Amino acid sequence: MVTAGTYRKAHHFAGRQRIEVLHRGLLSVAAEFGWNLEAWAVFSNHYHFVGHSPADPQTLSKMLGKLHGLTAGWVNRMDGKAGRKIWHNFRETRLTHEKSYLARLHYVHSNAVKHGLVLTPSAYPWCSAGWFEKTASSAQVNVIYSFPTDKLNVFDEYAPDPDW
User: How sure is the predictor about 153, in pLDDT bands with cuts at 50, 70 and 90?
Assistant: confident
Q: Tell me how far apart the alpha carbons of residues 88 and 85 are, in angstroms, rounded to a whole number.
A: 8
pLDDT in tens, 15-70: 999 999 999 999 999 999 999 999 999 999 999 999 999 999 899 999 999 999 99
Q: What is the pTM (predicted TM-score) of this model?
A: 0.94
Q: Tell me how far apart the alpha carbons of residues 91 and 147 are, in angstroms, rounded to a whole number.
A: 22
**Spans of all domains in the chain:** 2-146
pLDDT in tens, 110-144: 999 999 999 999 999 999 999 999 999 999 999 99
CB atoms within 10 A of CB 88: 15
Architecture of domain 2-146: 2-Layer Sandwich (3.30)
